[in-house]
Structure 1
Amino acid sequence: MSDPSQDTSAPQAPSPPGTRSAGIKRFATARSRSLLGALFLMATSAIGPGFITQTATFTQQLGAAFAFGILVSVLIDLAVQMNVWRMITLTGKRASVLANDALPGSGYVLAVLIVLGGLVFNIGNTAGAGLGMNALFGIDPRLGGAISAAIAIAIFLAKRAGVLVDRVVIVAGLVMIVLTVTVMILSDPPVGDALRQTVLPDTVSFATITTIVGGTVGGYITYAGAHKLLDSGTAGPEHIAEVNRAAVSGIIVTGIMRYVLFLAILGVVASGVVLDVTGNPAGDAFGAAAGETGLRLFGAVFWIAAITSVIGAAYTSVSFLPVFSARITGRVADRWTVGFIVVSLAAYLSIGTPPATLLVFVGGLNGLILPIGLTLFMYIGWFRGSLLGTARYPRWLLVVGTLATVVTWYMAVNAVGPIFDLLSV
């Protein structure tokens, strides 16, 4: 995606001091917006319709014990994002290019996995957008998915697509948080039990944790914010402090949002309401908490989560394609992104899997892809440190990242069967 903050067209004559000050102020504003855009692109991608549906499904199955899964997902997020964002912005290279430099050919494999995983994810995101419009306006989910895809395409075809994406994801993310907090208050959840089981769960499910981790940091989500930062010119060791702040802030925002959403649904489940996990479990929960108004609130939250995730999945997946052809940049990349959205929509309209089941499955699939990319980045950190520049890379960060990699491999191996069993539901 082209970004206006990177305009290098024609040389300019020296500007008067006042003009120069105004230019510096505009640059600082653009940089702040880009950092917030990267933060919220990661956050809204991590709290997409898949995560919302997964939360409703697993809260129905596990009750307050699902809080432990959320805690594990946040800890893994921290380990993953702080390493990946740091390495990508240190080198100024996208993940696939950096992987190729470290281990020739591995970047192509990573790109194929991310693009395929992102496509499957985006089919689910499109389905989620359709469900959101169905809850909001009562229209057919397939028509809602088509309308939402058209809106996403219009955003990418806009002349200043980079600025528009930043603004859309920031405003949409804030609205989503406010609406979900409102439903949480109305549902009156058992907070004490939830806090206890956050650290001492009554039951642990590897398939559940793998699915929720995959839905929040798996596949393309790992790289969404970091690639957005590169497009805004935030690269090099001089920007590491602000990159770390953006990564940690994004994870804090997503962690709070995940827990608030979980509590909103837990309050409904704890009251004895049984959610239809093959239909629209999150919609059932919001409706039970606040009646017709709750259903409309769900529609708004779900649609916002879906449309921002459609944008994030399409943008990030296409950002891996330049490793195959240097021509896929700027407006050419925007056209590829439009094509990616169209293919996702066509696939959604042609498949028969219920949207809710699909949204749970895609999180699990990307949870299986996650450890592959992590392994490549840990290899770079431990054995190809020269690629990261002259600054010493924090050893503790590599240790934490390696532990997260081992955990995600263990969970993926144990969860692969149950995850693919979802498609037979």
Structure 2
Amino acid sequence: MKETSHATQTPTPEKKRSKFSVAMGAAFMMAMAAVGPGFLTQTASFTGQMGANFGFAILLCIVADIVVQLNIWRIIIVSGKRAQVLANEVVPGLGYVLTALIFLGGFFFNIGNIGGAGLGLNVLFGIDPKYGALIAAAAAITVFVVKNAMTVVDHTVQVLAVIKILILIYILSVTTVPVATAIQHTFMPTQINFYSIVTIVGGTVGGYISFSGGHRLLEGGVKGKENIKYVNEGALTGIGVASVIRVMLFLAGLAVVVAGHTLDPTNPAASIFKIAAGNFGYKFFGLLLLAAGMTSTLGSTFTSISFLNYSQTLDSWVNKFRSVLIIGFILASTIVFYFVGNPAKVLIVVGAINGMILPIALAILLVAAVKKRIMGDYHHPKWLIITGWIVVIFMTYAAVQTLMTIKL
């Protein structure tokens, strides 16, 4: 147990920052990790297929997001331990399995993130997507290796979040949004597609995204049950930001679909912007895609590397070589994209696996939440435990069904 107690220690370079500031950094880290190139494509694609009925899937996604994030953030912060350490305390060795799943999932998704940023630069400036990916990778590495890197990361994702929202506000302003239809079908759908629910829940809080905010808070020195209010503020803010962006993109896509247009299945998100605002809108999409790729790259890199910390000794080693690990992680995913291109089939398989990671990870933390030897005298709210297990059961069933439909 001695090593475990060491594992609760976290880096302390951010002591001068207020806990609220760290919580907001964690909120935007989680939200912007979720709002990546895959997020844009999924939302646009399902809107094109389902129309206003996709609003119901978004509603369920938001409810699931609240349950998942409040559970995971709270358990991590109250215990003062990263998810992989908690998993090892539940079942010895389980943390290493969780690390492998998160790290590999984050790596393969980072290929899509870097590729998305490169495609964004292609739309904006006509740069070859492969060279665009190299530029994006260099920018991401620069953000991580500068002095006070995590503060710079926080500010970067917040600025990019504002850019995303402003772009979507503009697109909504030049379209006729069928608000009444959207509201009606959100609460009274005429079609329910469980695959769409699994996909967007997994894409919003699946894999590494589930832990990005909690680990970011821990990295900023926020831990213990006395800091639960910062968990609530950070988690709910992050969910709110990601949800607002998804709803805005859904409404923009719905406006285009209701007007009688068909979205291009090869790039549904781009076609929303091009149909709504012509070439000018298409350029805006390029900026949005660049921002989405960059924020998700930062989020997946930070969270994946954070899963290498297990003990005081290993923490020291990881912190000493953090820059090397970050550069290696980003460069490796960039090289794969450069030589392979967009490995769509690989990303689909990894996406299904990431959907499976969510119920596994949440189940592990829910078990940890009720063990006194791990959580001390803290009592996890019953409503979070009950709703958490409901999400675990539903996502397990849905993820298995999804895996059975994948054709390699």
State the TM-score, normalized to the length of structure 2: 0.92
Matched, 1:133 2:121: yes
Residues 211 and 360 in structure 1, CA contact (< 8 A), matched pair in contact too: no
Query: Residues 352-403 of structure 1, C-alpha deviation per residue, up to 9 Å, x if partnerless?
Result: 5466x77666544421221111111122224x24311212221111111111
Distance 1:201 1:145 in 2: 40
Matched, 1:395 2:404: no
The Cα shift of 1:308 comes to: 0.7
Matched, 1:320 2:320: no
SS of residue in 2 equivalent to 1:272: coil
Residues 11 and 221 in structure 2, CA contact (< 8 A), matched pair in contact too: no
Residues 37 and 289 in structure 2, CA contact (< 8 A), matched pair in contact too: yes
Residues 54 and 360 in structure 1, CA contact (< 8 A), matched pair in contact too: no
The Cα shift of 1:216 comes to: 0.6
Distance 1:318 1:63 in 2: 39
| Structure 2 unpaired stretches of 5+ | 1-9
Residues 121 and 129 in structure 2, CA contact (< 8 A), matched pair in contact too: yes
Residues 214 and 365 in structure 1, CA contact (< 8 A), matched pair in contact too: no
Distance 2:390 2:58 in 1: 18
- For 2:304, the aligned partner's letter is S
Identity of aligned residues (%): 42
The Cα shift of 1:240 comes to: 0.8
Distance 2:31 2:153 in 1: 14
SS of residue in 1 equivalent to 2:324: helix
- Map 1:213-292 to 2 at 5 A: 213-278=201-266, 280-292=267-279
- For 1:415, the aligned partner's letter is T
- For 2:128, the aligned partner's letter is D
- Map 1:115-126 to 2 at 5 A: 115-126=103-114
In structure 2, the partner of 1:304 is: 291
- Map 1:351-366 to 2 at 5 A: 351-353=340-342, 362-366=350-354
Distance 2:288 2:308 in 1: 31
Between 1:103-112 and 1:268-277, the stretch displaced more is 268-277
For residue 347 of structure 1, the aligned residue among 324, 330, 336 is: 336
- For 1:348, the aligned partner's letter is F
In structure 2, the partner of 1:9 is: none
Residues 215 and 364 in structure 1, CA contact (< 8 A), matched pair in contact too: no
Matched, 1:4 2:13: yes
- Alpha-carbon RMSD across the aligned residues, in angstroms, is 1.9
Distance 2:404 2:341 in 1: 21
Aligned length: 397
Residues 219 and 366 in structure 1, CA contact (< 8 A), matched pair in contact too: yes
Distance 1:265 1:397 in 2: 34
Structure 1 261/339 Cα, relative in aligned 2: closer, same or farther at 3 Å? same
| Structure 1 unpaired stretches of 5+ | 7-26
Distance 2:133 2:63 in 1: 33
Between 1:357-366 and 1:403-412, the stretch displaced more is 357-366
For residue 70 of structure 1, the aligned residue among 31, 40, 58 is: 58
- For 1:103, the aligned partner's letter is V
State the TM-score, normalized to the length of structure 1: 0.89
Distance 1:293 1:359 in 2: 30
SS of residue in 2 equivalent to 1:329: helix
In structure 2, the partner of 1:329 is: 318
- For 2:293, the aligned partner's letter is A
The Cα shift of 1:77 comes to: 0.7
Distance 1:144 1:332 in 2: 27
